[in-house]
A = this chain, B = another copy of it.
Amino acid sequence: MISGRGAPTRRQLLSAIGMMGGTAALYAMMTEFGHAAETRFPGPPNLSGARPGASVIILGAGLAGMLAAYELRKAGYKVRILEYQGRAGGRNWSLYGGDKFTEMGGATQNVQFAKGNYLNPGPWRIPHHHRTLLHYCKAFGVALEPFIQFNHNAYVHNTDAFGGKPQRYRALAADFEGNVAELLGKAIDQKSLDTRLTAEDQDRLKEALRNWGMLDGDMRYAKNLRSSSHRGYDLPPGGGVNGAPQPSDLLPFDQVVRSGIATNMAFFMNEEFQTTMFQPVGGMGKIGEGFARQVGDLVTYNAKVTKLFQDKTGVTVTYTDTAKGGTTEAKADFCVCTIPLAVLSQIETNMTEKKTAAIQAVPYSNSVKIGLEMKRRFWEEDAEIFGGHSFTNQDISLISYPNFDYFKTGPAVLLGAFASNAGGYRLAGMTPEQRIETALEQGSVFHPESYRKEFMNGASVAWNRVPWVMGCCARWNEDTRKTHYQELVAVEDRIVLAGEHASYVGCWMEGALLSSIDAITRLHKRALEA
């Protein structure tokens, strides 16, 4: 597999090692190189040499299922996919103007967005280290553009701070850092701290705190042009006669702490949300479409699986055609089942008790996303916010600004809510119209002059009302991992499960793909042994 002219690149080497020795060898080699591993993806799996004549039936045409189909067919297996929906992609999905969506409970929404606008109800951003997904996006011709995750100039709102008035992230973060730096500087001066640092290094730390927290010469965080250069000016620097800037007032530190800014700051340091993030040009659903261009010919749509049985001779899947009616039995030698656990737990199978217990053990998170189409980009034009999120402790949790077509005249779609937990359930319990009203009510706190005035139309998806997944994604905890995870992912005779639920990268597309690669690698091995 080391190909091309000249010496192999590091990536080629790692890829080759990964194929020969698997994860453990790869990990050892990465460490040898002095690099912590950035990714679990050493390159596409090398499954060549299928068991002659062997067939695999794949349940679910989401990313895990389609990747399994793509790689297993390449390896020589006879592959087919059964998919409940009338489209491929699964939770990789975008809603455009003209789309129609009926949720459990019966409410139907007709999406009215203008051409080019969309809502990504499910995944919406891609970390730079999700190399499996990035690899297949490139291979399948899915164009990506930056997703602006971190925006210093967006707002943070907390009903318990500043009398409910939102503040800019930059002002809160600057004031948090400035106060923390000043306080720690004082503690060092009082020599009360066991810092395990030498006196010289304590001086270095003080200087670092001064630089980081924008403290003045007396190690104080104060109202001046220095602190304003981080938190924002009252009047920014200008040109000509009246160009001198004016510093801004600091916020009261107790209110800064109460705003919850520390949690927001930590959020942006989470490796899943670190820069640089990406999104597909034109909507997240373009990824599902890219995969479907490769394996769409293998998919039977509108196929609702009702039974999954295996015996010594093979796997039998019973499914009904939800469009035309009628029940069919499909047989294959092996099965990759990517059906979400919340749905799979309701399907009749003859899997072992342990496996069944694992399938039933993992709760699914709920989440609700709401797209609001606005007449113009008032967040850009009036509030200088280009992409990123404004956060709130209200049910909607955040509003998020579109990361494409910046500066464009005409309508644009805001993400008006990304609610989970109790807030998610409250929104899910509403009609689509009520959800939009709530999103307008709560989101107005950020842009009171424009939010309702510029609103045109909206659409929402409450994941626990989506019939083909009945939840957002699997939420493992330490206990369920310990008791059930290995049981869930183990190949059981002829069947293996795959999907984000069968990974430690839960709720991410990367988890679905890594799980799929691992599952088909083991199934292939089993097939050759069988």
Contact = CB atoms under 8 A, between A and B. Distances in A.
A52 to B, nearest CB: 26
Interface residues of A, number: 124
Contacts of A240: 489, 498, 502-503, 514-515, 517-519, 522
A204 B213 CA distance: 20
Contacts of A505: 236-239, 243
Given A258-B204, A504-B243, A269 B152 contact: yes
Nearest to A521: B240
A386 B243 contact: no
B266 A515 contact: no
Interface stretch (A91-99, A109-117, A128-136, A297-305): A128-136
A19 interface: no
A239 B503 contact: yes
Nearest to A205: B257
Nearest to A208: B262
Contacts of A486: 241
Interface stretch (A178-186, A350-358, A423-431): A178-186
A192 B187 contact: yes
B198 A276 contact: no
Interface string A1-23: 00000000111000000000011
A208 B514 contact: no
A101 interface: no
A386 B10 CA distance: 18
Given A177-B269, A239-B518, A504-B243, A11 B381 contact: yes
Nearest to A242: B23
Contacts of A90: none
B275 A388 contact: yes
Interface in A171-211: 173-174, 176-177, 180-181, 183-184, 186-187, 190, 192-198, 201, 204-205, 208-209, 211
A11 B270 CA distance: 36
A391 interface: no
Interface in A468-517: 481, 486, 489-490, 498, 502-505, 511-517
Contacts of A381: 9, 11
Interface stretch (A30-38, A80-88, A284-292): A30-38
Interface stretch (A227-235, A307-315, A324-332, A411-419): A227-235
Contact of A407 (B134, B170, B237, B272): B134
Contacts of A515: 239-240, 243
Contacts of A335: none
A189 to B, nearest CB: 11
Nearest to A22: B242
Interface stretch (A71-79, A142-150, A455-463): A142-150
Interface string A429-451: 00000000000000000000110
Given A212-B265, A262-B209, A144 B239 contact: no
Contacts of A502: 239-240
